[in-house]
């Protein structure tokens, strides 16, 4: 046996996920050895083994060799390999740190960066002139305009070279004011002592207003700076200040005069200057910027105030994802663009942190922010000591976090001082902005506390500087508790402790007075408590009523406005958790609709076109032209002019690349193909004939009549039916006038067909993607026409295909299948053999679309959007209810796992809606079903039994947390068709540590069955029990795995065995009913303590001794005991789910709803599996088509409308021990996981809806409840 492969984490990245899929393919193929696989290919066993190691992406050739050796579909795996390469292209290069980037990201340019600082030449010259002629200069500009970089990398290098001044400078000093500018920098504002003036550059001058809280010290510092006006001081000063602090500068008259006489405004860069900023740093380092990227950046940043740091960071992230020496548009988009690059970088770092590090990052970053009071939030430099707030190893943990933040260029480290890399981080990272808004009041209090604590320490801890009254009360409220206290420095905690101690001493002085009035206070307190209780009861009732209204509104709006329904459902659950609000939350999430996209257009839109891959939308904007949109990024891709001469835009091709347009001037109807991207016509004009052809299509062995080139005429067609359309592939377009049909190639404009249709019937037609075959379908039958030789193709059709007048005809992408959809459903045929394929019967389809791989069908039927997989099931996998509007376009995006459709609203506006179908289209569907798939009661282990033929099978046990196999067992006994008995399937202990199964072949002959007990942890056999096949109808394993119970199906008679050594412990004979002699039963459920068995005839049997009386429930097909053992749920003979009291043997009621597909026209399903949650409060059941439905057991209320599955026959259900996750095992998809914890579902709903209810929405639906931001709360 070869060495066991290392476990893989599929969530670690695309390479690991691809390797895990390769391993799964090998397991499906019977787990051949790599040596055996190598013999089938040209590659060695180590090369094949390395392909599935998950360390790097194998080459395409090795991948295809691996797949071929396992019998997989090489075409499908080639597509998957190419998709992984695209995903890897978006990942930053591992060698990105090997050379220095020409871009600085959020950090400012320093004097040493002058060789890559471009775009400000004109401004630098103006600044030099101003420094030459004035001793005090003020540089004003908005945040993000590049003031600091201009001063440091633009002005200082030029001054150091001797430019600008007649006398060389004695020294150049750079400083930022900080909290105590005079105390810190007074000495640096003196002359340097050498010949020449000393230049002091004060960067971030606004800190004198944001950090310095002493007005006297602020005024003194400004006076020191402006004393440079006196030449005798031999001092020159350049101040850099943010424009939004201009008003604060006006409070100082002398500073006003300097700004008026020597102020330099820093405005946005021109397009040419921006081009220099983008291109020239790369050129300086031997790199090239793609022209498309330069154009995109210019369009996005030009004229944007404060956009420079965002641009620099986007270029830095693009450089990290460069292709060789080229910075590409694709790498830029992968980095998130100008608007998203900062947030993407920050989020990527945040996602790699553990919980403790994430909390530290939040504390650190909030310490580095000074919340504005009437102004914008600003950055705040902080000493490292202030960040080390709690714990003996605080310094080490803080230093680790700071190092990671600095490597991500989110902060800068200057000795012991820490700065935000740029204030743009505050506005561009939504998470940080959310933290600031959430903690704004606390941040103001923390800044005041920090300043007061430092002042107290500076005054030798004088008690007069301590907090008192309202300030102490506020600090106590905010900073009480271990988490809050851990956020304070040692000095701040000491300051608060001293303030509290001083307050305690004051209170002791007042104790005598308090005692004298205590009676009065007690009476007042009692009255207050009574009033408070009454008020609280009223508040609770008001919340319950509001939550009920919100839940009802969410159910009502689920189809028409799913995003609002999600927000209302979250509000309902957070206000009043209960069955009704939980049901609304599950129902809203079950809609599976993602946020809609509405293209922003000024006028009306004539039409919409979705690309076949569902990723691009084209809008026909009438005279305004044509616009293409990327539906993944929701950005405009390009815009194009409309056809010239006022031509009417009739029909768009799939994807919107081409349009069929009508000549507005000719008297005869003429159509032509317009190329949207090239903005020119393709092919000749196609003209309608003056008369109709009479010879019908499809004459056997004869070519269709050719009418020659259309002739121009003067008579307009006024009463003839005219139709124009593109083929389903978009590679051909058709023009039908009356019974005359023309087919033209796209884009070449070559006429492929010109002939007549049956004039007495309506025909549906389509052309293959290679433009070789035309299919025409009428009520009389289906014909294929070979367009190359202009003759019919003879096909022996099965099922007599035909089309009604409103039916549609579609070729599959590969042309091998033909689909007819209409009022009687969807039917498919193989075009080569004529064999009818799997169909969907009985469901009228107004519109349908096939996925690109042909596996799935989406249709509009009976006011709902349905998702089908004909090869899997004849029932829809998803039913998505629609409002009054009908979708115009449908398209699959299987790569994103979504289905998109266009809804036309009022005023010709359209919205692209998106349904998440990833659970249905992404699971690995096994074509060969497993014989059994069973979950342990705690959901930790999955047992899958596959029949190998000849009465033998192999059993594999999987860890449900990782999906990796835990144990494999061969030689499992499986009943053959010619055997007169059944062989029970495997059974697991509650914790999955033991499994029992029929093994074989038996030493006693084919009529003897060996029942084996297997230790799944040590992967070894524990014991074996041999029984005659006639005496074995069923077996079960006790929940603790210590006892095996076998049943002969009669009586029933039970035998209990010790699983450790195979000893028989006891026999139990149940009470027998003489009328039921000869009836065979099997065990349908086992109680949590293993002492009670429920049989399919409703008999309850004890495994610890003979029963004195026979307790019988209803006969059933499936059942489950609640974990507390008091209740059993079963599916009775009338297909109803009924709850029973086990001890009393009485029915507790029938659960409403049953298990059915969502929607009014859904049909009832039979139930195959049932399971209770660990706390017995929730019951889940699955129908025959895979629909999952949950109920709240105490209230008997359905929870939601059902959970979507992959359409598999689910055979087993189990909850995780904490009840937060539901596991479902099926024959084709072995394992599916569902999050059912309401709080986690609420967070998911918040994420999908994009946030909580707005204040306006809250007022509309929750009028009598104060507004709360309920998303993001625990």
**Residue given tokens 């959007």 in the structure block:** 865
30-44, 222-236, 1101-1115: which has the minimum mean pLDDT? 1101-1115
Q: Residue 819 in contact with residue 779, Cβ under 8 Å?
A: no
Q: Which of 1016, 924, 872, 990 is nearest to 1231 (CA)?
A: 924
Sheet containing 1064-1069: give its strands across: 1034-1037, 1043-1047, 1053-1058, 1064-1069
Q: How confident is the model at residue 719 (pLDDT cuts 50, 70, 90)?
A: very low
Q: What per-residue confidence (pLDDT) applies to 222? A: 92
Chain segment 1066-1085, per-residue pLDDT in tens: 888 765 554 554 556 778 78
What b/e readout covers 923-940, taking b as 16+ CB neighbours within 10 angstroms?
bebbeeebbbbbbbbbbb
Q: What does the pLDDT look like over 107-125, one tens digit per residue? A: 888 888 888 899 889 999 9
**Residue count of the chain:** 1274
Work out the pLDDT band at 164, boundaries 50, 70, 90: low
Take residue 1128 and report the two structure tokens written for it.
Answer: 């059993």
Residues of the chain by 3-state class (helix, strand, coil), percent to 5: 30, 25, 40
Q: Which own/partner pairs from 1137-1142 qualify as long-range (CB within 8 Å, at least 24 positions apart)?
A: 1137/1167, 1137/1170, 1137/1179, 1137/1181, 1137/1191, 1138/1114, 1139/1179, 1139/1193, 1139/1196, 1140/1113, 1140/1114, 1142/1087, 1142/1092, 1142/1100
Give, for 562, the enclosing helix (H) or strand (E). Answer: helix 562-575
Helix/strand/coil for 233: helix
336-348 per-position pLDDT tens digit:
777 677 777 788 8
Q: Which residue has the higher pLDDT, 848 or 12?
A: 848
Tens digits of residue pLDDT in 349-407:
888 888 888 888 888 888 888 887 767 788 888 887 788 766 656 777 887 888 788 77
Cα separation values, 386 from 32, 369, 418, 489, 559, Å: 61, 13, 10, 6, 53
Dihedral sign of CA atoms 371, 377, 382, 387 in order: positive
Per DSSP, the three-state class of 1084 is strand
Region 570-586: mean pLDDT is 86
Per-residue tokens: 653: 């091709």
Q: Map residue 409 onto helix, strand or coil.
A: coil
- pLDDT tens digits, one per residue of 1002-1023: 444 457 778 888 888 888 888 8
Residue 52 — very low, low, confident or very high, per pLDDT cuts 50/70/90? confident
Q: What is the mean pLDDT of residues 122-140?
A: 91
Give the chain's mean pLDDT. Answer: 80
Least confident span in 588-597, 701-710, 953-962, 1002-1011: 701-710
886-900 residue pLDDT tens: 788 889 898 888 899
Give mean pLDDT, residues 870-884.
Answer: 74
0.85 cut: is pTM over it? no
Beta bridge partners of 741: 736, 755
Contact 152, 109 (CB under 8 A): yes
Q: Give the whole-angstrom CA distance, residue 1133 versus residue 1150.
A: 13
- Residue 675 pLDDT more than 70? yes
pLDDT at 728 over 90: no
Q: How far apart are CA 82 and CA 59, in angstroms?
A: 10
Query: What pLDDT sits at residue 506?
Result: 75
Distance, CA of 1188 to CA of 1186 (rounded, Å): 6
Where do the DSSP E strands lie in 49-169?
136-141
For residue 905, the model assigns a pLDDT of 66
In the prediction, which pLDDT does 1006 show? Answer: 58
pLDDT at 444: 83
Mean predicted confidence (pLDDT) in 1156-1169? 47
Taking Cα atoms as reference points, which of 540, 563, 566 lies closest to residue 551? 566
Q: Please say if the pLDDT value at position 767 is more than 90.
A: yes
Q: How large a percentage of the chain has pLDDT more than 90?
A: 7
Task: Quote the CA–CA distance of 1025 and 286 in Å, as a whole number.
Answer: 77
Interhelix angle 440-458/490-509, nearest 10 degrees: 80
Q: How confident is the model at residue 694 (pLDDT cuts 50, 70, 90)?
A: very low
Find out whether 910 and 888 touch, Cβ atoms under 8 Å: yes
Q: What is the token pair recorded at 1004?
A: 């006693």
Q: What is the pLDDT of residues 393-407, one digit of tens each?
A: 677 788 788 878 877
Residue with more model confidence, 689 or 54: 54
Partners of residue 952 on adjacent β-strands: 949, 973
For residues 718-736, average pLDDT: 79
What is the set of domains in the chain, with CATH numbers?
A: 10-89 (1.10.260.40), 120-267 (3.40.50.300), 277-503 (no CATH), 729-882 (2.130.10.10), 927-1081 (2.130.10.10)
Mean pLDDT on 635-646:
85
Q: How many whole angstroms separate alpha carbon 248 and alpha carbon 255?
A: 10
**pLDDT computed for residue 105 by the predictor:** 81
For residue 708, pLDDT beyond 60: no
Going by C-alpha positions, the residue among 791, 759, 758 that lies closest to residue 774 is 791
HEC readout, 1020-1078: EEEEEEEEEHHHCCEEEECCCCCEEEEECCCCCEEEEEECCCCCEEEEEECCCCHHHCC
Dist. CA 1082–CA 923, nearest whole Å: 32
Over 90: is that where the pLDDT of 1054 sits? Answer: no
Q: Where are the alpha helices (DSSP H) in 325-439?
A: 329-335, 337-351, 355-367, 384-387, 394-407, 424-428, 430-438
pLDDT at position 713 = 33
On the question of pLDDT at 1179 being above 70, the answer is: yes
Query: Could you tell me the sign of the dihedral formed by the alpha carbons of 273, 277, 278, 281, in that order?
Result: positive
What is the 3-class SS of 1003-1029, one letter each residue? CCCCCEEEEEEEECCCCEEEEEEEEEH
Q: How far apart are CA 310 and CA 143, in angstroms?
A: 11
- Say which residue, 339 or 564, is predicted with more confidence: 564
Residues 6+ apart with CB under 8 A from 1252: 567, 570, 571, 1246, 1269, 1270, 1271, 1272
Residue 950 has pLDDT above 80, yes or no: no
- The span from the CA of 750 to the CA of 737, in Å, is 19
- In whole angstroms, give the CA distance from residue 1182 to residue 1212: 9
Residue with the larger pLDDT of the pair 689 and 743: 743
């Amino acid at each position: 046996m070869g060495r066991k492969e290392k476990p893989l984490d599929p969530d670690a990245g695309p390479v690991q996920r691809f390797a895990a899929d390769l391993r799964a393919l090998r397991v499906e193929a019977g787990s051949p050895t790599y040596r055996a696989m190598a013999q089938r290919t040209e590659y060695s066993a180590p090369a094949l083994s390395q392909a599935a190691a998950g360390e790097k992406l194998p080459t395409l050739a090795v991948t295809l060799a691996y797949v071929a050796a396992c019998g997989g579909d090489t075409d499908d795996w080639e597509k998957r390999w190419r998709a992984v390469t695209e995903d890897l292209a978006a990942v930053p290069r591992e060698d990105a740190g090997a050379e220095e980037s020409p871009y600085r990201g959020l950090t400012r340019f320093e004097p040493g960066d002058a060789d890559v600082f471009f775009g400000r030449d004109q401004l630098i010259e103006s600044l030099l002139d101003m420094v030459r002629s004035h001793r005090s200069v003020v540089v004003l500009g908005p945040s993000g305009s590049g003031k600091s970089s201009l001063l440091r990398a633009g002005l200082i290098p030029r001054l150091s070279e001797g430019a600008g001044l007649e006398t060389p400078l004695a020294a150049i000093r750079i400083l930022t004011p900080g909290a105590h500018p005079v105390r810190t920098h007074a000495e640096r504002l003196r002359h340097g002592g050498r010949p020449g003036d000393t230049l002091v550059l004060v960067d971030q001058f606004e800190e004198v207003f944001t950090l310095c809280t002493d007005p006297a010290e602020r005024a003194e510092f400004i006076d020191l700076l402006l004393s440079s006006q006196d030449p005798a001081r031999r001092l020159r000063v350049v101040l850099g200040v943010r424009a939004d602090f201009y008003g604060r500068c006006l409070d100082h008259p002398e500073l006003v005069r300097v700004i008026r006489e020597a102020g330099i405004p820093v405005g946005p860069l021109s397009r040419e200057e921006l081009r220099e900023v983008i291109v020239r740093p790369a050129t300086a380092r031997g790199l090239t910027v793609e022209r498309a990227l330069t154009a995109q950046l210019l369009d996005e940043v030009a004229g944007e105030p404060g956009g420079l740091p965002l641009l620099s960071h986007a270029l830095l992230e693009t450089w990290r994802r460069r292709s060789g020496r080229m910075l590409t548009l694709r790498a830029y988009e992968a980095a998130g663009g100008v608007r998203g690059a900062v947030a993407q970088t920050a989020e990527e770092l945040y996602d790699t942190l553990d919980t403790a590090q994430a909390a530290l990052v939040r504390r650190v970053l909030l310490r580095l922010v000074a919340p504005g009071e009437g102004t914008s939030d600003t950055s705040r430099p902080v000493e490292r000591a202030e960040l080390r707030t709690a714990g003996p190893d605080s310094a080490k943990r803080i230093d680790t976090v700071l190092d990671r933040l600095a490597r991500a260029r989110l902060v800068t480290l200057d000795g012991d001082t820490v700065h935000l890399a740029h204030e743009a981080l505050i506005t561009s990272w939504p998470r940080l902005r959310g933290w600031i808004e959430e903690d704004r009041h606390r941040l103001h209090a923390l800044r005041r506390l920090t300043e007061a604590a430092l002042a107290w320490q500076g005054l030798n801890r004088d008690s007069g500087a301590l907090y008192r009254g309202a300030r102490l009360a506020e600090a106590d409220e905010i900073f009480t508790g271990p988490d809050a206290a851990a956020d304070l420095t040692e000095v701040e905690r000491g300051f608060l402790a001293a303030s509290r101690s001083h307050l305690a001493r004051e209170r002791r002085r007042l104790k005598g007075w308090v005692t004298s009035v205590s009676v009065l206070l007690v009476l007042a307190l009692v009255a207050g408590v009574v009033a408070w209780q009454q008020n609280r009861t009223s508040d609770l009732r008001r919340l319950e009523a509001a939550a009920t209204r919100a839940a009802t509104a969410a159910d009502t709006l689920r189809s028409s406005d799913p995003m609002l329904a999600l927000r209302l459902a979250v509000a309902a659950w957070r206000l009043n958790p209960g069955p009704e609000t939980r049901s609304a939350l599950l129902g809203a999430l079950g809609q599976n609709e993602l946020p809609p996209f509405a293209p922003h257009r000024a006028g009306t839109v004539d039409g919409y076109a979705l690309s076949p891959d569902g990723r691009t939308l084209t809008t026909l904007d009438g005279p305004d032209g044509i616009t293409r949109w990327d539906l993944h990024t929701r950005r405009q891709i390009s815009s194009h002019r409309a056809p010239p001469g006022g031509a009417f835009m009739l029909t768009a091709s799939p994807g919107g690349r081409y349009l069929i347009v009508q000549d507005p001037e000719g008297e005869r109807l003429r159509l032509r193909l317009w190329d949207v991207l090239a903005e020119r016509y393709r092919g000749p004009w196609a003209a309608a004939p003056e008369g109709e052809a009479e010879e019908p299509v499809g004459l056997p062995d004869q070519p269709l009549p050719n009418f020659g080139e259309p002739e121009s005429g003067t008579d307009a067609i006024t009463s003839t039916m005219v139709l124009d359309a593109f083929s389903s592939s978009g590679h051909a377009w058709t023009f039908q006038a009356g019974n005359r049909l023309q087919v033209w190639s796209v884009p070449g404009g070559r006429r492929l067909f010109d002939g007549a249709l049956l004039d007495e019937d309506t025909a549906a037609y389509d052309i293959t993607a290679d433009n070789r075959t035309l299919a025409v379908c009428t009520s009389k039958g289906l014909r294929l026409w070979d367009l190359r030789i202009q003759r019919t193709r003879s096909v022996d059709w099965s099922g007599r295909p035909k089309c009604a007048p409103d039916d549609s005809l579609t070729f599959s992408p590969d042309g091998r299948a033909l689909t007819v959809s209409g009022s009687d459903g969807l039917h498919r045929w193989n075009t080569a053999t004529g064999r009818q394929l799997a169909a969907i019967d009985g469901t009228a389809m107004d519109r349908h679309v096939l996925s690109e791989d042909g596996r799935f069908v989406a249709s509009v039927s009976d006011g709902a959007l349905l998702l089908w997989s004909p090869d899997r099931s004849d029932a829809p996998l998803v039913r998505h209810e629609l409002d009054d509007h009908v979708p115009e376009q449908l398209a699959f995006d299987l790569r994103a796992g979504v289905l998109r459709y266009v809804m036309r609203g009022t005023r010709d506006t359209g919205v692209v809606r998106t349904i998440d179908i990833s659970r249905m289209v992404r699971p690995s569907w096994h074509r060969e079903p497993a014989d059994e798939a069973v979950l342990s009661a705690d959901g930790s282990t999955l047992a899958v039994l596959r029949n190998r033929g000849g009465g033998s099978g192999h059993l594999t046990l999987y860890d449900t947390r990782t999906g990796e196999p835990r144990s494999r067992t061969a030689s499992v006994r499986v009943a053959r068709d010619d055997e007169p008995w059944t062989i029970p399937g495997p059974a697991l202990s509650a914790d999955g540590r033991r499994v029992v199964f029929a093994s074989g072949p038996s030493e006693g002959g084919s009529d003897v069955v060996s029942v084996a007990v297997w230790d799944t942890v040590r992967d070894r056999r524990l014991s074996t029990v041999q029984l005659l096949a006639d005496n074995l109808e069923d077996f079960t394993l006790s929940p603790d795995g210590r006892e095996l119970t076998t049943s002969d199906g009669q009586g029933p008679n039970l035998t209990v065995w010790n699983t450790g050594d195979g000893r028989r412990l006891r026999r139990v004979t149940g009470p027998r009913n003489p009328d039921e002699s000869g009836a065979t039963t099997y065990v349908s459920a086992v109680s949590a303590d293993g002492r009670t068995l429920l049989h399919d005839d409703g008999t309850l049997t004890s495994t610890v001794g003979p029963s004195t009386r026979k307790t019988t429930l209803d006969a059933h097909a499936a059942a489950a005991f609640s974990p507390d053992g008091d209740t059993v749920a079963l599916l009775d003979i009338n297909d109803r789910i009924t709850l029973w009291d086990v001890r009393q043997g009485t029915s507790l009621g029938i659960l409403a709803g049953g298990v059915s597909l969502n929607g009014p026209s859904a049909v009832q399903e039979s139930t195959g599996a049932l399971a209770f949650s660990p706390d017995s409060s929730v019951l889940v059941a699955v129908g025959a088509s895979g629909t999952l439905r949950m109920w709240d057991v105490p209230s008997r209320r359905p929870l939601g409308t059902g959970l979507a599955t992959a359409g598999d026959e689910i055979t087993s259900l189990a909850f995780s021990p904490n009840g937060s996750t539901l596991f479902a095992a099926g024959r084709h998809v072995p394992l599916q996981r569902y999050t059912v914890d309401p709080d986690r579902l609420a967070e998911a709903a918040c994420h999908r809806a994009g946030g909580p209810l707005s204040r306006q929405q809250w007022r509309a639906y929750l009028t009598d409840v104060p507004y709360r931001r309920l998303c993001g709360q625990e």
